[in-house]
Every structure is written in C-alpha cells, then in structure tokens.
Chains A and B, each alone.
Chain A
Amino acid sequence: MRAKQGKPDGFLLAAVLFLTVFGMVVLYSMSAYNGRVRFGDSAYYFKKQLFALALGLAAMYGVSCMDYHALLKLSVPAYLVSLALSGAVLLFGDAYNGSRRWLSIGPLSFQPAEYAKPAVILLLAGFVSRMDRKRSGRMIAAVMLMVLPIVGLVGTNNLSTAVIILGIAVLMIFISNPRYLPFLWILLAGSGFLGIFLSLESYRLERLAIWRNPELYEKGFQTLQGLYAIGSGGLFGRGLGNSLQKLGFVPEAQNDMIFSVICEELGLFGALLLMLLFLLLLWRFMVIATHAPDLFGSLIAAGIMGHIAIQVILNIAVVTNTIPNTGITLPFISYGGTSVLFLLSEMGLALSVSRYSRT
C-alpha cells in the first residue's frame, strides 16, 4: 500500500529556511570580532559558513527530491563509509584546539563525526524496519552491538558526539519496541554506568565540581562567561550586534556557547522565540514521522527529531549550566560547515519522507 506521492512539508521547509537565515545573521554578529582579531576579516567565519550553507541547501534540495526508499539499500554501505572515515580521522586527521576531528582534502576540511549521525539514523531505520517483529526482544542487544563500533571510534576524540549518536540509537530502539519497562532499566543502567565512568577519572569529577561552582575554578571560565552573557541580556537584550561578552570574553563565541550570546543580544524573549522555533521543528518531525507510510520513513523522521532534540536540549542545558560542560553545538546556529551540510541533508531526508503520506 504505497502512499501517493505529494508535496514536501511546507511548514518544515519554511522553519528550516528561517532558522538558517537567522543562524547566518546571528553567526555574523557573534563571529565578527573573532574574525577581525584573528584573521583581519569580520566576515571570515560568515563566508566559510555561507559556502557550507550553499552546499547544504543544494544537498537538501537533492535529497528531498529523492525517493527515500532508495536509501534503504545504501544504509549499510553508508554506515561502513562512516566507520572508515571515523577510523581515518584517527590516523590522518588534523587537530584544532587539541582534538583530532578534521579530515582535510585540499582547502576543504570535513568532520566525519557529523556524517556519522545521519549514517546511524539511516542504518537503524533500515535495520529495524526490515526486522522480524516477533524477535524484537533480542533486537535491542543487536542494535546496540551495531552502533558500538561507531560510538567507540567517534568517542575516542569526541565524546559529546558519541553520546549524541548513542542517544539517537536508544531513542530509535525505544520507538521500535512496544514495551516501556526495559527502557527504564536501560536508563537506570546508563546512569549507573555514567556514574562509574565519571568517578574513574578524577578530571571528570573535577568537571562536576566546576559545574556546581564555576566561579571557583579556572576551568569554569567558559561556563561563567556564558552565564555573564545570559545574565546581562535581561528581558530584551542589548540588541543585535551589541554583545560585549562576544568580544573575547566568551571564548569562541561563534561555537558551542553561541546561545549565551544570543541571550545577551536578544534577551529572554529572543532566546525563548528561538527555542519555540526549535520546538516547532520537532513538532513537524513528529507529524512527519507519525504520518509516514512505512516504518522506515517513520524511523528516519523520528531519528532526525531525536538528533535535533538531543543537540538543542543538551546545548542549552550546558550553556545555562544546568548540566556539566560538554562541547555540543546548537544546530543551524553554531559555526561549523560539516554540521550545517549534514543537518540540511537530514532536513532534505525529512522533506523527502514528508512527500509520502499514508492517507
């Protein structure tokens, strides 16, 4: 019962385009100072991001025109490619700020970890939708085993992204299984594991201590500067472009901490509007996922929803010092070419799914 082919979700498209434009405006504002200071060009980051955005929009359009079912066969090879790339980055990658995360091809550099996220979504969507549903009990373990290699590879130098990938996997398995209780155990086991993991290394415990009292630690500098930025925003902010904290106080204002500077410039209202926009995006993913003609489509849309949700929630939680600091970017807004390219590709994927409706 293949559903008839329709138009892509206009609401989602509008929201994504709005977010990207908003993201570019904000990025220019946040990065102008760092660009000027480091490269003598206020638009340095903006231009690089604009190039990635153009590529991303092209990819989004291309993917949205495809029949997503064609990707079913590609899901396993795509995953293998992501494993290969993540392996390669460990061997040949370039390091910035002490992390080996980038693969360079000529003037272009590329972050395999960003590619791994849609690859895992596709892999799991394909695997789960083809599985015998009577044996879904054992499936949980099987899926976990499948994603562990990529989680391990990515996790060696980018723990945050590994956690996101793991999170996406858990959410997708949660959807595929009718029961709730096992996931409660997974949640509890996960927290227990996390606790042991954290207490094994003293530097991880230190991170917890910094979280409690950022002003007491030198390494709490970034967190504290973010809080200064948020706090000085007030209700309506200083106005776009008027942040003082981005002038070198918040380190790398265009990256993970960008939301704090948005708060400073646009105030509580601007920040809440942005959060609402993300929520609208998630709502559209939910609508697409629940209206998809088959489980593969549903799981793709749900996986994308999980991906965006995890990153937005964790990013804002970190910036507001609600959880300990870990480097997670804000989708569509933070600086990062690979990220925006694959995010937009995922949007294309979601749009493609939205063209097929079950009614």
Chain B
Amino acid sequence: MQKTRPFHRRKIVVIFLGCMLALLFLGGRLAQLMIVESEHYATLAEDLHERERSIKAARGRILDRNGTVLADNRTVCTVSVIHSQLEDPERVIEVLAKELELPEETVRKRVEKVSSIERVRQNVDKETGDRIRNYKLAGVKVDEDYRRYYPFGSMASKVLGFTGGDNQGIIGLEVEYEEELSGTPGKILTLTDARGVELADTGESRQEPIPGNDLVISLDYNIQKYAEQAAYQVMEQKQADSVSILIMNPKNGEIYAMTNVPEFDLNDPYTLLPQYLPQEAAGISGTDGVTAETAGAQLPAASGSTLTGEALQDALNRMWRNGCINDTYEPGSTFKIITASAGLEAGVVSLNDGFSCPGFKIVEDRRIRCHKVGGHGAETFVQGIQNSCNPVFIEVGLRLGVDRYFSYFDQFGLNEKTGIDLPGEAATIMHKKENVGQVELATISFGQSFQITPVQLAATVSSIINGGTRVTPHFGVSVHAGDGALVDVYQYDDGKRILSEKTSETMRYLLEQVVDGGSGKNAYIEGYRIGGKTATSETLPRSANKYISSFIGFAPADDPQVLGLCIINNPQGVYYGGTIAAPVIRGMFENILPYLGIEKNG
C-alpha cells in the first residue's frame, strides 16, 4: 500500500482551497441576490402572495328637494366557489342550481372549473345569499355587495341615469356627480398560498371603504310624477313620438321636473322599449310599437332582444337620450319672445306700434307666409304677439338688422351652452353671421332655420322674464354625508344681466296678454296670472308633414316663480301648440301652483 506523499497532501489542499473559493464566490452571489436585488425579487414575490379583494363602497343616494330617495342602494350578494376548498362538489352543484335558479349544467361548468375563484352568480338577493350561506358548504363564498336601486323605476330616468356593473355612473346625474356619489372602495389584502387559499395566521390588512355622499337635487318627486303623467297622457292622446316637459324656477334655475316620455326602467335599463326599435321594424304607425305583421317579417319580438351589437347599442342610446338637453329642435314661435325682447330692448318697436299683415311678407324676392292665410290685418305689436303673427316679427327682426340681432342672440346667452349639470348638452346650431341675409334673418325672427335645445329655450326665457338676469338651469343643490351632515352647497353665480328690468317687465306683460286673449288662451287658469307663448313648427324635411307643438308658460305673470315648457313631437291630428301643448302646461300649473304655495289672487 502506498503512503501519502507530500504532493498528495498538496493537491488535497489545492482542492480544499478551490472549494473555498467557489463557496466564497457563491456567498458573494448570494449577497448580491439578497441585498442588491432583494427588493426586486421581494416585490415580485409579494405580488404573487398578496390577493387584493376590493370592497365596494356604498354609493351615495340621490334625494329630491324634500328628501324623497330617488336612487338608493340594495344589498346584494355575489356567490363564488373556490375550487381548491370544495369538499362535496356534487352537493354544491345541487344546492347552487336550486337556490340560484340556474341550469345545473351552467353551475357544474363553473364549479368544476379549475380556477382560484370562480363567480357563479352576481346580484343575488340578500335573502338567497343568506340561505346559501346557511348551508355552510365548504368552498362556497357569499360576498355582500351593493347594487343601485331606483325605488320609482322609470321616474326621471333620463335625468337620474343609472350605474353599471361596478356601480359607476353610465348616464345622467349618476355620471355628472360620480365623484361625490362613488365613494372610495376599500381593500382587503390577504396572503395566500400557491393554491390561492388565504393564510389564516398572517392576518389581513383591511382598508374600510368610504361610502359616497348623498346628493340632494332640486327635482320635486310630486311635480316630476305629475309631469310624467301629463306627458304620457298627451303622448297617448296625440299618438306622439315623444313628449318633453320641463318645469323650473325661473329665478334661480332650479329644475323641478324634467321628463322625456317614454321613460325607461332604471332598474332594467338594457331592455329596449318597443318605441325605440329601429324605424324599419317599428311599423308605419310608429307609435303603437310593433304590429304583428311588420314585426313578423323582420324582427320577431318587440323587446329588442333580437337586435345585436351596434344596432342594439344605437337603439339603447336613443332610448337613454334626454331630449331636453341632448337634442336640438327648431323652436318656432316660442322664439318670438327673444325677438320681441331684443326689439324692445333696442327700442326699434314699442307696444302700440302699428303693423299690417296681409297673410305674408315679401322679403327680398321671397314671399314668407303667415300661418293665418287671410292675414291678421291691422294690428298693434301687442296684438301681433297675441296672434303670433309672423310678418310682425319679421318686421321687428329686419328693423334690428343682422348685426344687432346677432349681438342680442349672443347677449342672451344663446350661443353658449346653459351649463346644466347633466352630461352631453347639445350646442346651438346657428347660421354663421356672414351667411345671414334678409331672408335668413326673417326666418330666425320667428324661430325657424336654426336649432336650440329645449333647456336652452327654458333658461333663456326664464332669464328674460325674471327681471333680466341669466340663470343656470341645474339639479344639484347640496351634498350630504351619509349621516346627513352637510358637506357642500352648490353655488350658481348670479348670471349677468342680459336685459333691462324694464324690458323684462314689458315682456311679462306681453306674454300675459298672449294667455289672456291670444294664441295661448288654453293655458289660462281662473285666478292666476299666467304668461306664455305657443309654437308649432314643422320638422325637417318639411315634406314629411311632421310637427312639433310646444308651449312655454310661467306664473304668476307679475312675479314668475315657476316656468314650464311642454314639447310634443310629431302629434297626430290637430298639431297646434296652442291647442294641444298649452293645456298640458295649464294642467301642470293647476296642480303645482297650489302645491308650491302660490295663492290665487281674488
């Protein structure tokens, strides 16, 4: 046997030293990983371990001016299964299918899916959720959640708007006041193992959600309800496409009611009303919804469920539109209020100026007709407005001239949006000044050839009759915390003066004459002083023979506290604003004037 020789020992030492070097190097590598790159890997690891579950914040409620809750929250449950914690999948499938009223196959697919957490059904009633929880099934999770709930269904649907799956506002005030209403969602941070099972002993850090604030709006539940009833009534009577009613306070711009019937169900906003089916499917009459024959040919159901993709979305968007704000129309004769105000303010006309109406007026080479074919004959300016005589207003417009007319148009705020606190307000569609000749000026003077929104008309007329200051029409009044504490009161600056006090007073007098003995006499209520103006305009294209009838009125005429606008789209049969729209506002005023505490004067 050999002995161990010195070179053997040397080589053993060499190997040891080599190993020591290697271990030193690895120690360095370790230090690099655990000090220099520690944060990088630790963050990645944390992302892996942490599960963040968000807790929805309760959305703030929307209350009317008297505290009636218009938009509320309901507790609902989300039922999910955690695959890795299931003990008896068959029983889970059986129970969930029964309680959630889902086909067994659907439930089976979700229960048997290998995922860390699988949602079986959302928006389950709290009672059902509690029942499922009481089965104490391993691996079944019932999380409580909030869902928007509108106690009055379709009331003020296009004003309030609704919310989506994450409780975010989709349209209307729900969008406009999203920031106040939404609150701040909370968080539950938990550590989990690789299967997604939460670790019991590591604790969880919880960040409580902050509920959204309550919004108090100027809308009045009773006035809104009455406005909707009145609108539906006249829509049915006149087989109209739609009817809009807007009731507001002309002094401060608060809107008491705004409806555009047909309204849709806020608790079920994705179900299309028959009226909003595409034209070709809606049949010829258009108002009865779908007749059996025409529908059978193209679309079988009236619910719109057969519409898909873009077509359905278009139809829904049309249903959700707030006609008072999102759409413009030719105001027609109601706009004579603006022409009259401008004429009086500029001094180009006075109440007793004499006019003559032969039934038309020649402007340049055009013969512009009055609505009364035979003409109104000789009349004063007061009679002209009572008669809603076109030649009178053409004359006033021409006396003002394009420059002055446009400067008043601008001064009255018609070129700007009203600034109402609802999304999607449409802008005025007006001629460019350089393109306006005498003929165009003549048509503008009696409210044709341009378009404004109904809310613009209401706001402008409010400003003209309230003493002459521009108001901002609005809903938002104040914001309260969940416990009722006042958080914020919205300030709407006193608008700038657009008209002298004197002209405003004259306009109130003139418009009272329209109701007292003129075209607006159907709005007259015994014992009240009411002012107003009718309008009947033909929609484009003129050949379609479709009309828009409207009436704008206010009371009391000497000190206006409420202003109402009613617009009837495409009424069948008699379509004169004075005949069909004025009585709607009279009906409204008969009810709301006493309700608002405005006394009859002897």
Contacts and interface: CB of A to CB of B under 8 A. Distances in A.
Closest 8 CB pairs of A and B: A231-B41, A248-B194, A247-B193, A228-B45, A232-B42, A295-B2, A286-B16, A309-B19
B384 to A, nearest CB: 83
B34 A267 contact: yes
A117 to B, nearest CB: 17
A258 to B, nearest CB: 14
A169 B7 CA distance: 18
A305 B8 CA distance: 14
Interface string B19-44: 11011001101110111011111101
Nearest to A269: B34
Given A231-B40, A248-B194, A268-B30, A302 B12 contact: yes
Interface residues of B, number: 41
Interface string A219-260: 000000001111111110000000011011100000000000
A295 B4 contact: yes
B110 interface: no
Given A248-B194, A272-B31, 8 more contacts: A231-B39, A233-B38, A234-B34, A244-B193, A286-B16, A289-B12, A293-B4, A295-B2
B191 interface: yes
A278 B22 CA distance: 12
Interface stretch (A74-82, A85-93, A315-323, A333-341): A315-323
A175 B8 CA distance: 5
B1 A231 contact: no
Given A233-B38, A268-B35, A275-B27, A175 B48 contact: no
A294 B26 contact: no
7 contacts: A72-B1, A175-B15, A231-B38, A233-B38, A275-B30, A289-B9, A320-B33
B49 to A, nearest CB: 5
B11 interface: yes
A283 B34 contact: no
B526 interface: no
A296 interface: yes
Interface secondary structure of A, over-half rule: helix
Contacts of B48: 228, 249
Contact of A248 (B1, B27, B195): B195
Contact of A263 (B1, B3, B9, B30): B30
Nearest to B84: A37
A230 B36 CA distance: 12
Contacts of B486: none
A176 interface: yes
Contacts of B46: 232
A316 B19 CA distance: 13
Given A178-B7, A294-B2, A302-B12, A275 B26 contact: yes
A302 B13 contact: no
Contacts of A298: 4, 8-9, 12
A133 interface: yes
A358 B20 CA distance: 26
Given A268-B34, A313-B19, A174 B45 contact: no
Interface in A263-287: 263, 267-268, 271-272, 275, 278-279, 282-283, 285-286
Given A131-B2, A245-B45, A268-B35, A175 B11 contact: yes
A178 B11 CA distance: 8
A284 to B, nearest CB: 10
A227 B8 contact: no
A130 interface: yes
Interface in B195-214: 195, 199
Contacts of A131: 2
Interface in B574-595: none
A228 B44 contact: yes
A312 interface: yes
Contacts, number: 153
A279 B195 CA distance: 38
Interface string A59-75: 00000000000001000
A292 interface: yes
A128 B1 CA distance: 9
Nearest to A130: B1
B492 to A, nearest CB: 56
Nearest to A178: B7
Interface string B427-471: 000000000000000000000000000000000000000000000
Contact of B15 (A174, A234, A268, A271): A174
A317 B20 CA distance: 14
A342 interface: no
Interface in B300-351: none
A248 B197 CA distance: 11
Contacts of B11: 174-175, 178
A5 B530 CA distance: 128
Interface string A175-215: 11010000000000000000000000000000000000000
A18 to B, nearest CB: 18
A171 interface: yes
B194 A295 contact: no
A322 B20 CA distance: 16
B8 A248 contact: no
Nearest to B7: A178
Nearest to A133: B2
Contact of B33 (A128, A231, A305, A317): A231
A35 to B, nearest CB: 14
B70 to A, nearest CB: 48
Nearest to A228: B45
Nearest to A312: B23
A292 B5 CA distance: 11
Interface string B267-309: 0000000000000000000000000000000000000000000
Q: Which of B7, B41, B193 counts the most chain A CB atoms within 10 A?
A: B41
A232 B199 CA distance: 18
B34 A282 contact: no
A160 interface: no
B29 A320 contact: yes
Contact of B1 (A268, A279, A295, A306): A295
B45 A275 contact: no
A290 interface: yes
Nearest to B2: A295
Q: Which of A133, A244, A294 counts the most chain B CB atoms within 10 A?
A: A244
Given A129-B1, A175-B11, A247-B194, A234 B38 contact: yes
Contacts of A295: 1-5, 8
A28 interface: no
Contact of B20 (A128, A279, A289): A279
Contacts of B15: 171, 174-175, 286, 302, 305-306, 309
A129 to B, nearest CB: 5
A115 interface: no
Nearest to A215: B44
A175 B20 contact: no
A294 B1 CA distance: 7
Interface string B40-78: 111011101100000000000000000000000000000
Contacts of A46: none
